[in-house]
Amino acid sequence: MTDVLNPAQLRAYFGLMEVVSLLQYAVREQLHAEGGLSYVQFEILAKLAHTDQPLTMTDLADGVVYSRSGLTHQAGLLQKQGLITRSASPDDQRATVVHITEEGRARLDTVLPGHIQVVRELLFDSLDERDVRTLGDMMGNARDHMRSRPPRSAAPRNRHTGTAVEK
Amino acid sequence: MTDVLNPAQLRAYFGLMEVVSLLQYAVREQLHAEGGLSYVQFEILAKLAHTDQPLTMTDLADGVVYSRSGLTHQAGLLQKQGLITRSASPDDQRATVVHITEEGRARLDTVLPGHIQVVRELLFDSLDERDVRTLGDMMGNARDHMRSRPPRSAAPRNRHTGTAVEK
DNA sequence: TATTGTTATACTCTATAACTATA
DNA sequence: TATAGTTATAGAGTATAACAATA
């Protein structure tokens, strides 16, 4: 249990952060310029379109690193643009179900080609097929690992644990 | 020149974005809680300490995806905390050279063990040695590629090109 | 009593544009 | 004329805490 990372780890870590920063920057600009969407808004629409059925706010919050109030805020912006609708769930009166509208799908269609082009030009042009598979595997593992083992603080972001966390 | 990504690419792309989001979230929290630093502030200090010599604002802006005014702002915050100093360059009167102070180094030392622990627990615990090398290679390639080929817009972030970009 | 979601609020980050001064 | 950096400002994103309604 040393408290350093070896040089290969440092290189991987900083490389990862830098690459994703550059990618995020480009992707955000594209989404904003071509569709007036923030990245989170894009994620919400993409998730709804991909799942192809209404999701609750909590469903949406899963998978997006986001506070609930932040999600409410972004959903409000999407709704104001007519890209989603929100209505009370028939099953659970507390829950809100979110639907994507036709306009929402259309907006996604507007944005997607440019989005994909940016990602391909920036990221995939430098990776061969085997790299892509490997990267996908590694990120899949890492995600499962991260999701299953919340950080040291064990501070829940979205849920109550029952154990009070003093602060 | 299709306009889709194949499934492996989609998986890699979304996996990458999700993993780094989770990592950034955890890392930001750690830096803030244990050192009162934002990630950019950490990057600035780390860069100064690593280079081990004063850098100009422009030097610092390179490698950090940041507007110049944003960098000025963050540098101001660091200076207010006594972690860096800024002074006029002897070589070029326009330039500002940034030094890290002893306090700055100390702050970095305070933050680093926890930082490394977070990164190791979240990221490297799920990757073996070979993965780490591979990831480092891929990210190195991708970074070089991205840095050499600015996105479609060709809109310069930090420099003047001489060609006016209408907007 | 716990959970879903919203509101109100405040703070941070980031970018744009205008500006100063040096080259 | 171009570059380095700062300032003023404005907008977007995000979190916290308090709250209402339902389970």
Residue A24 and residue A39 in contact, taking contact as beta carbons nearer than 8 Å? yes
CB-contacted nucleotides of strand D (7 Å): 2-9, 12-18, 21-23
Sheet holding A55-56, edge to edge: A55-56, A96-100, A84-88
Return the pLDDT at A64: 76
Return the pLDDT at A74: 96
- Residue A153: closest C-alpha in chain B: B30
Residue A66 and residue A40 in contact, taking contact as beta carbons nearer than 8 Å? yes
Burial of B86-103, coded b for 16+ CB within 10 Å and e otherwise, reads beeeeeeeeebbbebbee
Nearest nucleotide (C1') to alpha carbon of A93: D22
Q: Which two tokens stand for residue A50?
A: 């991909």
Q: Which two tokens stand for residue B59?
A: 């030097």
Crossing angle between the packed helical segments A7-35 and B102-122, to the nearest 10 degrees: 90
Phi and psi at residue A60, in whole multiples of 5°? -65, -40
Query: Low-confidence residues of chain B, pLDDT below 70?
Result: 1-2, 65, 149-167
Per-residue pLDDT of chain A (167 residues; tens, 9 = 90+): 567 899 999 999 999 999 999 999 999 999 999 999 999 999 999 999 999 999 999 999 887 767 889 999 999 999 999 999 999 999 999 999 999 999 999 999 999 999 999 999 999 999 999 999 999 999 999 999 998 865 443 333 333 333 333 33
Residue A129 and residue B6 in contact, taking contact as beta carbons nearer than 8 Å? no
Contact residues, chain A, for B128 at CB < 8 Å: none
User: What amino acid is encoded at B5 in this protein?
Assistant: L
Distance A77 CA to D18 C1' (A): 23
Beta carbons of B13 and A119 less than 8 Å apart:
yes
Return the pLDDT at B64: 76
Q: What is B9-128's CATH number?
A: 1.10.10.10
Domain A12-136 has CATH 1.10.10.10: yes
Nearest to B122 among A22, A30, A146 (CB): A146
